[in-house]
Structure 1
Amino acid sequence: MKRRLLGTIAAAVGLTAPWVAVWVLTVGLPAVGYDPALFAHPPTLATVAVSGVSILGAAFLLAWAAETAEKDVPRAFAIAILAVLAVAPEYAVDALYAWNAGQFAGTERGVEAGNLAVANMTGANRILIGLGWSGIALFTVFRRKANVDPAVINRDGFLRDAVSIDPDISLEIVFLLLATLWAFLVPLNGGIDIFDMLVLVGIYVAYIAIVIRGDVEPEDVHTGVPAALQRLPRPARIASIVLLFAYSAFVIFVAVEPFAHGLEDLGTEAGIPPFFMIQWIAPLASESPELIVVAYLVNKARSTAGFNALISSKLNQWTLLIGTLVVVYSIALGQYGPLAFDSKQSAEIWLTAAQSFFALALLVDFEVTAWEALTLLVLFVSQVLLEFAVIRELVALPIPTEEMLLVYSAVYIVLGLVLFVRRRDEFRLLLERSIGTITSAFGGEERPQQADD
């Protein structure tokens, strides 16, 4: 491997090293008997800065590992693994709240923790679409090298340029739609229960069982670190992939909680309500690795892989993240029990499902225009800012906050239904392509595609 590429890898590892050192001194060594008083934690601002930089370095390592893995496993499976690891910070933060809800069940602290677990989950999912999908689409279309990206469609007219989506992502869209439709039912029982877990986790397991049977696609041309790693002998290549995945996952796991909590503390010092911080600022921090990874892929003119990663991240967050909360809660509780939440969080779940429904309607024709991405972004940002203004008593609404969330939900659903009706032919082709993928994965004869598909 060329010295320059080794230097590139070393630079990314170097970004993670300061926080790993902090973790070893303040957590690792005290855990094996050293006096924790010998190692002082850094100030909050320094903690946020150092842990944030380490997450950035780990995100690059994750992206290189996933690209390298495409030589040996189906691309969809490599991206699914990337998505799981990239959202690991979000799992860690949300599991903490679910665990506290179980440990302190029956108390005010337990009730609050349960609501925070749901709030953190809905905030993370809405950020992924409202900022992630829309922001990456706009970045793809308007960045400096967009004219050389085959995924960018240039059209005349205001905000009519678009980023095309790989039709092979049909399967992910269908499974995500199934999870979204089920999510509308979750609040009806007042909590996340075992049936939600079985359905949502079952959806993801079925998805993985299909994509892992896909064909390896070695024809993609990679550059830089992934290309160099792919030229290694197979044993060395696999070892490097495992090492990159494992190390980056470790760094993200140990850095995300202090990063998120540090941001919460900084926000609290600035007068931002803790609940708002946990729903929005903490998830924004924990979502940062996957957004960095996707921006990296897009900047390499691999917009298709970037969007596939975002969609796969949404799928596992919208299935595994929700479904496993009840497992963590029940373990902490010491027996099975549904993770309960209040009516405000019911409205948050409906709004999150409605946003997902609208976003999927945008993907039915396998492209997202700049106008559609901007609409998605404005709806998301306006709702968050309006709720923040109400919390800080900067504005007074004629309706309660919960009803405001339901109004936004209705807007998303109406827009989504209109798009699904207008694009019903494209949706039919998407379903046929997905059925063909499933049939092919399990040894059947793939259904022929339409000529214009």
Structure 2
Amino acid sequence: MAGELIPRETLLVRVTLTLVIALPAVVTRMAGLDPPAVAAMVIFGAGVLAAAILLMWAAETARADMSGALALAVLALIAVLPEYAVDVYYAYAAGTKPAYTAYAAANMTGANRLLVGVGWALVVLAFALGVRRLSRRGGRHATRGPGRRDVRLTSLHRTELGFLTLAAVLGFIPALTGEIGWYMSISLIVVYLLYLTQIARRREADVEELAGVPAWLVTLPKRVRRTATWGGFALGGIIVFVSAEPFANALVDAGASLGIDEFLLVQWLAPLASEAPELLVAVMFAWRLRDADAIGTLLSSKVNQWTLLIGTLPLAYRAGGGAWSLPLDSRQTEEVLLTAAQTVLGLSLLIDLVFRRWEAAVLFLLFAVQFVLPGEDVRLYLSGVYLAIGFSVLIARHRDLGRAMATVVRPR
């Protein structure tokens, strides 16, 4: 399981640097300090980033003591807990602060669109650069035929694609009803639990070769390794607990003080901080030509974010004093529609288990358009473009869609 080991000195530098990044957030929160909004955004944003790194390392290391696809899915969920913590806080606070309702929707849609529009495209770019690097060296991977130009998934990933299809259909309901209702919570959480059940029954996937800090940690004696793993989970969880709430509030306050739309800060900066470690791990896998591991990791994250993350928001809203359904205004409805439409296109491009360079370029360019041409009309037009391309591709690949849906009822 362990890949190329990093030198001990490099290991210590990485761990120390991560803890140093987290330290200001812990000290500021424990000392009860109240820094200016922009400073707080940086301090606690760094804390969220450090927590995400620690949780990612712990989750990767835990694979040495946990086997099976179910374990991989659970560990993938743990690795994105910082994103959940920030978004759930916004939904919880919205129960007494109605303005925070918009931030809960913004964070959720931003995380999903960033993952697909940027994360998936980065995997293809890193893989292409990795192939080019080995081609120049005359590496053995360079002679495997034209298929090595494209990122490929394994047939086992049809389970994720099948459940993402179910979630993609359900994802349009909030855009049509103007709310994320309690019935959405039930439906999406059930879909996620069924997903966990199905992958627990399927054939065990190939064990991933670890790299970086986890690759070094798995070489330790079992007792020491497990202590390090649970210590990483505990420390990461504490830092998330310390950082998530003040970071979420600081984003809103910083937007107001800087004259920047706080909706945009919440939508893009928070997910970028919480998901950066996972994106970096996926890019590293792709660079080493482990394309199935790279895109498979992000696909699993997309499934849990488009099911469990959305499903928890109404529950958090209710726990915070709100109603059973999280209301959406016109802008939030458009954002959810755009995210659901992007999900359809992303699904259609992966459904045949091959992710081509031009497909990644299409996803990234459509993602970038929203920043060049912001506005209500653009969001609606983009949704139409996503859906037109997505449904056209799904129709052409209907047999692959059928194979993916078959895994929902018949585990592999």
Indicate whether the TM-score tops 0.5. yes
1:67 aligns with 2:55: no
Q: CA, structure 1 residues 98+59, in 2 after alignment: closer, same or farther (shift >3 Å)? A: closer
Matched residues, number: 406
After superposition, the Cα gap between the structure-2 partners of 1:52 and 1:281, relative to the gap in structure 1 and judged at 3 Å, is closer
Contact 2:69 2:205 in 1 (8 A): no
Q: Hey, what does 1:122 align to over in structure 2? A: 109
CA distance in 1, matches of 2:190, 2:259: 42
CA deviations 1:166-198 (Å, max 9, x no partner) are 221111111111011001112333211110000
2:360 aligned partner, one-letter code: A
Please give the secondary structure, in 2, of the residue aligned with 1:372. Answer: helix
Which residue of structure 2 lines up, in the alignment, with residue 393 of structure 1? none
Question: What TM-score do the two structures reach when normalised by structure 1?
Answer: 0.78
Q: Residues 42 and 332 (structure 1 numbering): CA distance in 2 closer, same or farther, change over 3 Å?
A: closer
**Residue aligning to 2:398:** 424
Correspondence for 1:13 among 3, 12, 15: 15
Aligned counterpart, 2:300: 312
CA distance in 2, matches of 1:149, 1:59: 35
Q: TM-score, normalised by structure 2?
A: 0.85
Q: What is aligned with 1:450?
A: none
Whole-angstrom CA distance in 1 between matches of 2:5 and 2:343: 45
Give the superposition deviation at 1:93: 2.0
**Which residue is equivalent to 1:411?**
385
Q: Who is 1:33 aligned against?
A: none
Could you tell me whether the CA contact under 8 Å between 2:59 and 2:79 is conserved in 1?
no
The aligned counterpart of 2:285 is 297
2:337 aligned to 338, 343, 350, which one?
350
- Correspondent of 1:250 among 225, 238, 258: 238
Please give the residue correspondences for 1:127-138 in structure 2 after superposition, counting only pairs within 5 Å.
127-138=114-125
Q: Answer yes or no: is the 8 Å Cα contact 2:162–2:406 preserved in 1.
A: no
Aligned match of 1:376 in 351, 357, 363? 363
Find the partner of 2:161 among 161, 165, 173. Answer: 173
Report if aligned partners of 1:141, 1:152 keep a CA contact under 8 Å in 2. no
Letter in 2 for 1:184: F
The answer to whether the Cα contact below 8 Å between 1:68 and 1:229 also exists between their aligned partners in 2 is yes
Q: Any idea what the Cα deviations from partners look like across 1:83-136, whole Å, max 9, x if unmatched?
A: 3233222222222221222113xxxxx1x2212211221122111111111222
Q: Secondary structure at the match of 1:327?
A: helix
Query: After superposition, where does 1:263-302 map in structure 2 within 5 Å?
Result: 271-302=259-290
Residue number in structure 2 paired with 1:386: 373
The match for 1:337 is 324
Query: Deviation at 1:223?
Result: 5.2
Distance 1:223 1:3 in 2: 7
Deviation of 1:250 (Å): 3.5
Gaps of 5+ in 2: none
Q: Which residue in 1 is equivalent to 2:70?
A: 77
Contact 1:200 1:323 in 2 (8 A): yes
Deviation at 1:310, TM superposition (A): 0.7
Q: Is the 8 A contact 1:260 1:281 kept in 2?
A: no
Measure, in 2, the Cα distance between the counterparts of 1:97 and 1:299: 36
State, as a whole percentage, how many aligned pairs show the same letter.
37
Query: Please, which moves more after superposition, 168-177 or 92-101?
Result: 92-101
C-alpha separation in 1, matches of 2:48 and 2:288: 20
Distance 1:188 1:55, change over 3 A: closer
Partner of 1:195: 183
Query: How far is 1:342 from its partner?
Result: 1.1
Give the structure 2 partner of residue 99 of structure 1: 92
